[in-house]
Amino acid sequence: VARTRRAGATANVRWLDPEEERAWRAIATLIHRLRWALECQLEEDAGLSFIEYHAMARLSEEPDGTLRMSDLAAVTNASLSRLSHLVTRLERWGFVRRRPDPLNGRFTQAILTDAGYRKLAASAPAHVAAVRELVVDAFTSTELGQLRALSGRIVDRVDASRWKQLPT
């Protein structure tokens, strides 16, 4: 992280010891490289970004392929503004369409089109294969459980922190 003591930071900071430092670097590398690899895979194989793919995947899990923009933003960890730009793109490509929620005109529904379903169906196998290759198949089911638990603990910490908030 920061072996900056010699630079004059003399405060009473609990610096990371070597063991902690190594663990932290491993995790920092993970969150960078794994993300990058999956972005590349989707870009190459499907011409979609990670978030575009996952937005469509989430829609496909709804019985009617429909979700409110604000709900979709929440499940994809995206800001509403980012999602709006992104859905504009997906709309231009014909994979999603938008309409005001009939039940409450303040909401906007994002709806996966038939072309969207087909795109997803064509893209999913390669993506799942990559997730297996890079993550799932690297572990026993016990280890996978550990990994899930440990990851969950960090995410809980984030949720409890002052940075839990996603952008506007």
Partner DNA sequence: CAAGATTGATCTGTCAATCTTC
Partner DNA sequence: GAAGATTGACAGATCAATCTTG
The residues of the shown chain that bind DNA, judged by CB under 7 A, are 43, 49, 51, 68-70, 73, 78-89, 98, 100-101, 104-108, 167-168
Q: Which of 16, 69, 74, 111 binds its own copies (CB under 8 A)?
A: 16
The amino acid occupying position 60 is S
**CB 86 within 8 Å of CB 78:** yes
Report the SS3 class of residue 95: coil
Complex with its own copies: residue 101 or 156, whichever CB lies closer: 156
Shortest distance in whole angstroms from residue 5 CB to its own copies: 8
Interface with its own copies in residues 121-160 (CB under 8 A): 121-125, 127-136, 138-139, 141, 143-148, 150-155, 157-159
Q: Over the range 12-48, which residues count as b (16 or more CB within 10 Å of their CB) and which as e?
A: eeeeeeeeeeeeeeeeeeeeeeeeeebeebbeeebeb
Which member of 26, 92, 103, 105 binds its own copies (CB under 8 A)?
26
To the nearest whole angstrom, how small is the minimum distance from the Cβ of residue 109 to its own copies?
19
Comparison of 99 and 158: residue with beta carbon closer to its own copies: 158
Residues in 46-85 at the binding interface with its own copies, rule: CB under 8 A:
54, 57, 60-61, 77
Q: Which is nearer to DNA, 4 or 79 (CB)?
A: 79
Window 78 to 117, contacts with its own copies (CB under 8 A): 117
The backbone region for 154, taken as left when phi is positive above 0, alpha when psi lies in -120 to 50, beta otherwise, is alpha
Q: Would you say 112 and 56 are in contact if contact means Cβ atoms under 8 Å apart? A: yes
Amino acid letter at 50? F
